[in-house]
C-alpha cells in the first residue's frame, strides 16, 4: 500500500489575522489531494484558522498543550481548549519547548496523555543537538526521548500519535540532514517502535523537520521511512509551503 504523506506547518511565534487570511487563502484548494496537510498557528489564531480552513481538508492544531486539564496553571493551554477551538492535533516536545521551558521527556509524555484524553492527535518531536550528533550520540538521545514518552503514554498511545524527527542543529539554520542521515534516524525510530509492536511501527507516521524546502523535499520524501515533513519557516508563505506539498511523489 502506498504511503500517504503528511505535510505540517509550524508557524512558531509568527502570525496575525491578516497573515492567516493570506496564507490559508493561498493554500485553500491548492494542496494536492494525495497529501494530508495540517497547520499549527499560535494559540490566538487557532479558532480563526479552523474557520478559514472549513471545507478545505486541511487540519489545524496547537503548538503545545498542557498536561493539566484545568485549575491554577496560568498561561497553560488545555486539551479541552484546543478542541473547543476546533483543533485536532497538537505538537508535544518541540525542541524550543525543551530548551526554552526546560520540558523533560517525561513531562512531554504526560502532555501526550492529556492530548489523547481529549481526542487530539499528539505529534511527538524528538531530536539531537549538534554537539550530541558530533559526539555520536544521535540515536541514544533520540531513542531515549522516544522511550521516555512511551513510558508515559504506552505503545498503544504512541500508535495514536505521530512522531517528528527534528535535528535541533537543522532547525531554522539552513542546514539540513542529508536524506541518508535523516533516513537512518527514521529507521532507528521505527525499529525501536517495532520492538514493542510491529503493527504500530508499520503504520505510524514519522515526519522529518529541519529546514525542509521545495528544493530538498522530494529527495527526503523518497526515503522509505520518511512519511512527510514538519515545516517551520517555509510554512509561513503559501508558495513555499505548496512547493513542499507538490514535491510528494505521486503514487498509484
Q: Does 89 participate in catalysis according to the annotation?
A: no
Mean confidence (pLDDT) of the chain = 95
How large is the average pLDDT for residues 201-215? 95
Phi, psi of 68 (to 5 degrees): -100, 150
Catalytic, out of 94, 96, 103, 128 = 94
Is the per-residue pLDDT at 2 higher than 70?
Answer: no
In 28-137, alpha helices (H)? 46-53, 79-84, 95-100, 105-117, 130-134
146 has pLDDT over 90: yes
Measured between alpha carbons, how far is 16 from 158 in angstroms, rounded to an integer? Answer: 33
End-to-end Cα distance, the chain = 9
Please tell me which residue in 67, 103, 132, 166 is annotated as part of the active site.
166
From the list 189, 172, 242, 245, the residue with the least C-alpha distance to 6 is 245
CB within 8 Å of 245: residues ≥ 6 apart: 7, 31, 32, 35, 37
Catalytic annotation on 33? no
As a whole number, mean pLDDT of residues 103-119 equals 98
Which cell goes with 219? 529527495
What pLDDT shows up at residue 200? Answer: 97
- Calculate what percentage of the chain has a pLDDT beyond 70: 98
Query: Has residue 101 got a pLDDT over 80?
Result: yes
Check pLDDT > 50 for residue 250: yes
**Rg, Å, the chain Cα set:** 17
User: How much is the average pLDDT of 110-122?
Assistant: 98
Which of 206, 99, 100 lies closest to 146, judged by CA? Answer: 206
What confidence tier does 1 reach under pLDDT thresholds 50, 70, 90?
A: very low
Average pLDDT over residues 204-219: 95
- pLDDT at residue 69 greater than cutoff 50: yes
Q: Which position has the grid cell 479552523? A: 50
Give the pLDDT confidence score for residue 251 in this predicted structure.
Answer: 64
Q: How confident is the model at residue 244 (pLDDT cuts 50, 70, 90)?
A: very high
Contact 212, 171 (CB under 8 A): no
Residues contacting 207, CB < 8 A, separation 6+: 6, 8, 123, 162, 163, 164, 165, 226, 227, 228, 229, 230
Q: Mean pLDDT, to the nearest integer, of 189-218?
A: 96
Closest Cα partner for 233 from 71, 23, 6? 23
The pTM of this model reads 0.96
Kind and range of the H or E run holding 200:
helix 198-203
Amino acid at each position: 500500500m502506498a504511503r500517504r504523506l503528511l505535510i505540517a506547518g509550524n508557524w512558531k511565534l509568527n502570525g496575525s489575522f491578516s497573515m492567516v487570511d493570506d496564507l490559508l487563502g493561498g493554500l485553500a484548494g491548492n494542496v494536492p489531494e494525495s497529501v494530508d496537510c495540517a497547520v499549527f498557528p499560535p494559540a490566538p489564531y487557532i479558532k480563526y484558522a479552523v474557520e478559514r480552513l472549513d471545507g478545505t481538508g486541511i487540519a489545524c492544531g496547537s503548538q503545545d498543550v498542557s498536561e493539566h486539564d484545568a485549575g491554577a496553571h496560568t498561561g497553560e493551554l488545555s486539551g479541552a481548549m484546543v478542541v473547543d477551538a476546533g483543533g485536532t492535533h497538537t505538537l508535544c516536545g518541540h525542541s524550543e519547548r525543551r530548551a526554552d521551558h526546560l520540558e523533560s521527556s517525561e513531562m512531554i509524555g504526560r502532555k501526550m496523555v492529556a492530548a489523547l484524553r481529549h481526542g487530539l492527535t499528539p505529534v511527538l518531536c524528538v531530536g539531537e543537538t549538534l554537539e550530541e550528533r558530533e559526539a555520536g550520540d544521535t540515536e541514544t538521545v533520540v531513542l531515549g526521548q522516544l522511550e521516555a514518552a512511551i513510558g508515559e503514554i504506552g505503545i498503544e498511545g504512541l500508535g495514536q500519535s505521530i512522531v517528528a524527527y527534528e535535528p535541533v542543529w537543522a532547525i531554522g539554520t539552513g542546514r539540513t540532514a542529508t536524506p541518508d542521515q535523516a533516513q537512518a534516524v527514521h529507521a532507528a525510530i521505527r525499529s525501536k517502535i517495532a520492538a514493542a509492536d510491529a503493527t504500530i511501527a508499520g503504520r505510524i507516521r514519522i515526519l522529518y523537520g529541519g529546514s525542509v524546502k521545495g528544493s530538498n523535499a522530494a529527495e527526503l520524501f523518497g526515503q522509505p521511512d520518511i512519511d512527510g515533513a514538519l515545516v517551520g519557516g517555509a510554512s509561513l508563505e503559501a508558495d513555499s509551503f505548496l512547493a513542499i506539498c507538490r514535491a510528494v511523489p505521486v503514487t498509484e
